[in-house]
Structure 1
C-alpha cells in the first residue's frame, strides 16, 4: 500500500478545502503546495496514479495497457482481500496540465472499463501522488542491514525524493507519522554581514572547517548550543565506525545496481582529519598567506552529465530547520571553489544531518538520516553572500 504518498488523496491539510474545487484548480493549489519543497530536486517528478481492482487478471491487463503509454507499473494486493492495486508511475514535469491530463485519462479509462463482473465491483481510481519521503536508518550495533536503507539514502542524495526525519526529540525512531519540524533558519544578510565584521577572528586559520566554526559562532548564542550540535563527535569507537559505515553506505555495488549514472570520486570520511597531506588546497582562497585547505566528506560525479554532488555530513540531536544552518552552507561554498569542481558543468551541494535513535520495541540503536537539503553554490545570491563572509573571515573586507 502507498497510503504514505503525498498527493491528492492522502491526509494533506488541503484535502478538505480542495474537495469542492474544479480539478484544474485543485491540482494548481496542491502542486504549488508540494513544489515549495520538491522543486529543489530539479524539473522532473515521478508521479504515481493508483487504481484499485477486485480481480487480479483485470488488474494485470490494465497494468500492461498503461505500460504501453510509457508508465512503469507495480501490482500489489491487500492481505486477505480482493483488492488488487495498480501503481502506474511516470516521470514528468509537475505542471498542472501534465498531472491533470493523466488524471482525466485514468478517470475516464476506469469509468469505461469493459468488465465481465458486476457493476458494483467497478474498478476505482484513487488519484495521483508524489514519491514517498524516505527515512534511512542503520544499526549502530554491528548488525548487518539490508541494502534497502542504502538505496533509500541514494534516492534522496540523487534527487529522486526527500528525507523524512523520524527521530523524536527524545531520540526514539518513530515508524509512523513524522516529527515536528523546526521553522526555517532566518537571517537578514546585511545584518549578518555587519555582525561578522564586528566579530572577525583575530587569527583566522586556513581551513574550511575553521571558517564554518566561525560562522557558527556568529549565531550560536541565539540558536542552540555547541554541545547539542556536536555531541555526535563524542562516542565510543565502535559507534563512530558504525556511523561512518552508514554515511558511506552507497558503495560501488549499490551505485552499479541502483544508480549506474553516478560514481564516487572522493571519500573523505575515513582519512586522517588532522594530517595536512589529506587536504586539498585552493590557492586563490588564501588566509594569512596560506592556501585554504578543504576536505569534503563525499563527492559524486554523474557519468552521463558530468554533474558534481558534494556532500557535507553533520550529526545533531537538535530540531532541524528546513534550510539547515549557515555554517554548513559556508563550508560547502568552500568545497565548490576547488579547481576540479569549477570545471564541472553543474554542481550541487548537499547538507546532510544525521542523528542517533533507538527503537521502542527492540531497543536497537540506530543512526538515521534526518535531513538532506540541496543548493546550487553557483547561484549569485549564495555565492555573493558566502564570498563576502569569507573575505571578512580572512581580513580583506
Structure 2
C-alpha cells in the first residue's frame, strides 16, 4: 500500500530521516521509507526481494537507457548532462532548497534542452514494479532536480520518471511506465515544498542540538 500525500506528511512530522544531510538522496530515501510504512506483512518479503532485485538489475539496464539517450540529440533537443554512473557525476546545487547555509545537492540521470522552446527536460530512470505516479520519492526526486541552479532560468522544466520492470529483463531497456510532472505546476510544487519544509526542520533541529 502506497500512502497518499497527507498521510506521508503526517508520518514525516513524527519520524526523523535516517540520514541527516542536505542531499537529494537523503531526502528521497526518507520519503521512500515513509511511503512504504504500512506494507502488509504478507507482502513485505516480496517487496524487499523485488527491491533488492531491482537494485541489482538497475545499473546495467540504466546504462543501456543512458546510451540510448545520446541518440535523441540533434533532432529536437541537445544533451545537457548525463550521469556517467561511475561515482564521478556532478552534485548540482539547489540554492532555493537551502538547509541553513547549505543548498541541497544531487545529480539527475539525464538532462536535455529542447532546441526550440529552450525548456529543460530532466529524466530519472528507476527499476521497480511500482507505478511511477504512486511512487512519492520519484516525484520528490524530480522536483528537487527541477530546482537545480544551472537551469533555474529555463522557461519551464519537464520532469520525467521512467520505470523499468526488473521482472522483464527481456524488454531490452524499454520502460514499462512513464510519469511526467512540470516545475510550473503549482499543486505539484506545493506538495513537494511541504515535505521539504518538514525535512529541513528535522535537519535544523539536528544542527541546534547541544553538544
Q: TM-score range by the shorter chain?
A: 0.7 to 0.9
Write 1 or 2 for the structure with the bigger share of helix.
2
- Match of residue 301 from structure 1: 113
Does structure 1 conserve the Cα–Cα contact (< 8 Å) formed by 2:24 and 2:106? yes
After superposition, give the CA deviation of every residue in 1:68-125 in whole Å (9 maximum; x if it has no partner): xxxxxxxxxxxxxxxxxxxxxxxxxxxxxxxxxxxxxxxxxxxxxxxxxxxxxxxxxx
Q: Are 2:148 and 1:311 equivalent residues in the alignment? A: no
Does structure 2 conserve the Cα–Cα contact (< 8 Å) formed by 1:271 and 1:278? no
- Match of residue 31 from structure 2: 215
The normalised TM-score by structure 1 is 0.45
Q: Are 2:142 and 1:323 equivalent residues in the alignment? A: no
- Match of residue 54 from structure 2: 232
Cα distance in 2, alignment partners of residues 350 and 230 from structure 1: 23
Cα distance in 1, alignment partners of residues 132 and 93 from structure 2: 31
- Match of residue 206 from structure 1: 22
- Match of residue 338 from structure 1: 148
Give how far 1:295 is off. 0.3
Which segments of 5 or more consecutive residues in structure 1 lack a partner in the other structure? Answer: 1-182, 360-364
Does structure 2 conserve the Cα–Cα contact (< 8 Å) formed by 1:313 and 1:353? yes
Which segments of 5 or more consecutive residues in structure 2 lack a partner in the other structure? Answer: 206-211
- Match of residue 369 from structure 1: 175
Does structure 2 conserve the Cα–Cα contact (< 8 Å) formed by 1:207 and 1:292? yes
Matches within 5 A, 1:182-193: 187=4, 189-193=5-9
Cα distance in 1, alignment partners of residues 127 and 19 from structure 2: 27
Matches within 5 A, 1:35-184: none
Query: What SS class does the counterpart of residue 21 from structure 2 fall into?
Result: coil
Q: Which one of the candidate residues 69, 72, 81 is aligned to 1:250?
A: 69
How many residues align? The count is 196
Query: What SS class does the counterpart of residue 328 from structure 1 fall into?
Result: helix
Query: What SS class does the counterpart of residue 175 from structure 2 fall into?
Result: strand
- Match of residue 266 from structure 1: 81
RMSD: 2.7
Give how far 1:358 is off. 5.0
Give how far 1:250 is off. 2.7
After superposition, give the CA deviation of every residue in 1:271-298 in whole Å (9 maximum; x if it has no partner): 443x5x7211123423354321110111
Q: Are 2:104 and 1:292 equivalent residues in the alignment? A: yes
Does structure 2 conserve the Cα–Cα contact (< 8 Å) formed by 1:336 and 1:347? yes
Give how far 1:241 is off. 4.0
Instruction: Report the structure number with the largest CA radius of gyration.
Output: 1
Does structure 1 conserve the Cα–Cα contact (< 8 Å) formed by 2:108 and 2:123? yes
Distance 1:312 1:358, change over 3 A: closer
Distance 1:394 1:358, change over 3 A: closer
The normalised TM-score by structure 2 is 0.79
- Match of residue 94 from structure 1: none
Query: What SS class does the counterpart of residue 73 from structure 2 fall into?
Result: helix
Does structure 2 conserve the Cα–Cα contact (< 8 Å) formed by 1:262 and 1:302? yes
Give how far 1:347 is off. 1.4
- Match of residue 382 from structure 1: 188
Does structure 2 conserve the Cα–Cα contact (< 8 Å) formed by 1:314 and 1:352? yes
Distance 1:358 1:302, change over 3 A: closer
